[in-house]
A and B are shown apart, each in its own frame.
Chain A
Amino acid sequence: MGKTTPLYPQHLAAGGKIVDFAGWEMPLHYGSQLEEHHQVRRDAGVFDVSHMTVLDLSGERCQQFLRYLLANDVARLKTTGKALYSCLLNSQGGVIDDLIVYYRDSEHYRLVVNAATRDKDLAWITQQALPFEVTIRERDDLAMLAVQGPQARSKALVLCPAAMQEAVAELANFYGTWGPDDWFVARTGYTGEDGFEIMLPAAEAPALWEALLAAGVAPVGLGARDTLRLEAGMCLYGQDMDETTSPYAAGLAWTVAWTPEDRPFIGREALATDYLEGPQQVLSGLVLLEKGVLRGHQTVTIEGLGTGITTSGTFSPTLGVAIALARLPAGVGEQVTVRIRNRDVPARLVKPPFVRNGKALISL
């Protein structure tokens, strides 16, 4: 059996169908992946994301280190709790991982990186940190729950420690707050809905989970997590991008901070051509124009331009049509089709996200 989070007994009690995810025993769903998806868009759902990796960095040169390590610029973070989404690049400009970094003060930052990339991220960050004498503390003593949906914040707020409730209630989008007793609550998420990601001591996580369920928050598994994030146009590392992909080919050019020009960061030189001349490949959204399901690794043909490939695809429960992210040649073409089994099915290019705050952003 793989690793389990502190909430494993709760997953079993809620009827979770357990599958392996990156060496962890995680719930794929608790009965209906589609129902769980709808719950998050309409009300509130809770995800156990304790398998993700939380790193607390500290040191006098912490900011200097992160400005070198990350493609986005942490100097943009000046308020305690402010968050930044960034790619971690290798020197060829390929994406090692995508992550969120929270600013505590110039000598203390928190990074949250993916579960599947924990080992390589930790090795890379530790090695790069050596000349900066930054201390890296992995917070595997913490669990993490994401509560997402239009009712998520109001239901989760009252379950946070009393001393931090006011600060939590006032959190602006993409900000977090450190509370007593090692709690940290951030207004971030991976669903395109409002909500919180709550980090807390592992021993307290089961009680929070049960209190959330008692408040009517639905348990939501990894299956719905994937359909939600894809509707929200969010990338999944390992699927939409990997070390052979530049941020440009992953639709993440907006996360690369080119100014100030005198900030060297790992991968800067390698990306310069994409930046100056425009990238050869882009990531686009696709909507299938007939009934069917889009998946990853399907060939996309753009008349007059060439072929590309879908990276992630699904049937969108909220929209009722198939959607996908696809890596395509840059440029303007005509008719778009996707090869599904032995047919070329017509599709339409759209700019993601497909859904935000429960509403369709694309015309159907």
Chain B
Amino acid sequence: MSNVPTQLKYLQSHEWLRDEGDGSVTIGITDHAQALLGDLVFVELPELGNKLQAGHECAVVESVKSASDVYSPVSGEVIAINELLVDAPETVNTDPYGAGWLCRVRLSADNDLAGLLDATSYTALLAEESH
């Protein structure tokens, strides 16, 4: 059973979002996603200042076997990236919701955070997917 923290929001494509309460959010990939990918060996992060669009690719995570696109749950500007992942990409596997965060985004005006999945809905989605 994978870990799904209750205070976060989720995308169907297995990304999570944490509202920092100051007009910015932190995003990453879920425990379910990191388990599917296996040991990560490379993370391609967006650049500072990049403008992201909700639902569009913002990063790439690579395991030995495959590369996977990470989709941004929000639109906005990248204000921080997790430099730790450059030399220690496996941090996403060991701590996907904490030290394995990918980037922080200052929200643009047109976001609808309420439209994202909450923990209960995401958990239900995972249960369905496994059948």
Say if the beta carbon of B131 comes within 8 Å of chain A: no
The answer to whether A341 touches B60 (Cβ under 8 A) is: yes
Say if the beta carbon of B67 comes within 8 Å of chain A: yes
A315-B62, A315-B64 known; A293+B38 contact, CB < 8 A: no
Nearest CB of A to B90, in Å: 8
Number of A-B contacts (CB under 8 A): 37
Inside 8 A of B117's CB, which chain A residues have their CB?
Answer: none
The answer to whether A223 touches B64 (Cβ under 8 A) is: yes
Nearest CB of B to A341, in Å: 7
Q: How far is the CA of A33 from the CA of B65 in the complex (A)?
A: 10
Q: How far is the CA of A73 from the CA of B64 in the complex (A)?
A: 37
Inside 8 A of B41's CB, which chain A residues have their CB?
Answer: 34, 293, 315, 317
Q: Nearest chain-A residue to B86 (Cβ)?
A: A291
Say if the beta carbon of A64 comes within 8 Å of chain B: no
Among B27-76, those with CB < 8 Å from A are 38-39, 41-42, 44, 60, 62, 64-65, 67
Inside 8 A of A341's CB, which chain B residues have their CB?
Answer: 44, 60
Q: A interface, by DSSP: helix, strand, loop or mixed?
A: mixed
The answer to whether B86 touches A34 (Cβ under 8 A) is: no
The answer to whether A293 touches B39 (Cβ under 8 A) is: no
A33-B38, A291-B42, A293-B41 known; A314+B60 contact, CB < 8 A: no
Say if the beta carbon of A227 comes within 8 Å of chain B: yes
Interface set of A (CB-CB < 8 Å, partner B):
28-29, 32-34, 223, 227, 291-293, 295, 314-315, 317, 322, 341
Other than A33-B65, A227-B64, A291-B86, give 14 A-B pairs with Cβ distance below 8 A.
A28-B65, A33-B38, A33-B39, A34-B39, A34-B90, A223-B38, A223-B65, A292-B42, A292-B62, A293-B41, A293-B62, A315-B62, A341-B44, A341-B60
